[in-house]
Structure 1
Amino acid sequence: MKVRDIALARSGDKGNRATLSVIAHDLADYPLLERTLTPERVQAHYRDIVRGSVQRYTLHHLGAVHFVMNDALGGGVTRSLALDAHGKTLSAAILDVSLDLDLP
């Protein structure tokens, strides 16, 4: 099972930080997201993009986990040469993460 099977994701930017929210379609699936989408796993998934730390915020009542990824946008929107300087497509990448704890 992949994240896309049970959740949707949204991403954005703030300076040189990317933000990412993963929201369960059904609150019953939230514990699986919370257990498997750790800051370490998210940082490893975006290792070629995120150069700084990753913080996670759990939003139990919304069935969501929210991540702040520092030093992730090549210096920020006005300085980056990245095709997606705003980090809007980062949410598509998280949807492919396996929810099996034994898989990357």
Structure 2
Amino acid sequence: MKLRELAHSRTGDKGNTLNVSVICYDARHYEHLREQLTPERVKAHLSDVVRGDVMRYDLPNLAAFNFVLGKALGGGVTRSLALDAHGKSLSSALMDLDILEPR
């Protein structure tokens, strides 16, 4: 199944760093997604774009995660020639990640 079936996302940028929040539709899926969405797996899935470290911050009270993606915006909004200099499409790309179905 695709991640988008269990969660939605939002993004924000600061310089060459992108934040991607993943928010569960249903809090019951939080633990399942915590197991599935490791920083390593997110970095591998977005490896064409993300050149730096990926850190995950768990937000259990919100049934959400915040991923901080380093060196992900081609130098930052004011330096990048990318069509999506703010990285908004990366949240959609992350939602395409294949995950196991919850038990």
Q: Same fold (TM over 0.5)?
A: yes
Runs of 4+ in 1 over 4 A off after TM superposition: none
SS of the equivalent of 1:89 reads helix
Equivalent pairs: percent with the same residue? 56
Report the alpha carbon displacement of residue 18 of structure 1 after superposing the two structures with TM: 0.7
Task: Mark the runs of 5 or more structure 2 residues left unpaired by the alignment.
Answer: none
Q: Partners in 2 of 1:48 and 1:2 — Cα distance?
A: 19
Paired residue for 1:27? Answer: 27
Instruction: Tell me if structure 2 keeps the 8 A contact 1:73–1:80.
Output: yes
Residue in 1 that maps onto 2:45: 45
The letter for the 2-side match of 1:22 is: V
Work out the CA distance in 2 between the residues paired with 1:91 and 1:32.
19
Shift of the alpha carbon at 1:33?
A: 1.1
Deviation digits for residues 52-78 of structure 1 (CA, Å, limit 9, x no counterpart): 000000000000011000011000000
Report if the CA contact (8 A) 1:16-1:75 is conserved.
yes
Matches of 2:95 and 2:5 in 1, distance apart? 8
**TM-score w.r.t. length of structure 1:** 0.93
Q: Distance in 2 between matches of 1:27 and 1:34?
A: 11
SS state at 1:94 partner:
helix
| Superposed counterparts of 1:1-104, under 5 Å | 1-100=1-100
Q: Is the CA contact 1:74–1:81 (under 8 Å) kept in the aligned structure 2?
A: yes
- Give the secondary structure class of the aligned counterpart of 1:21: strand
State the distance in 2 between where 1:30 and 1:87 align: 25
Deviations for 1:66-100, whole angstroms, at most 9, x for unmatched residues? 10000110000000011100011111011111112
Aligned to 2:34, the other structure's residue is in SS state helix
Q: Name the count of aligned residue pairs.
A: 101
What is the one-letter code of the residue matched to 1:57? Y
Which ranges of structure 1 fall in alignment gaps of 5 or more residues? none
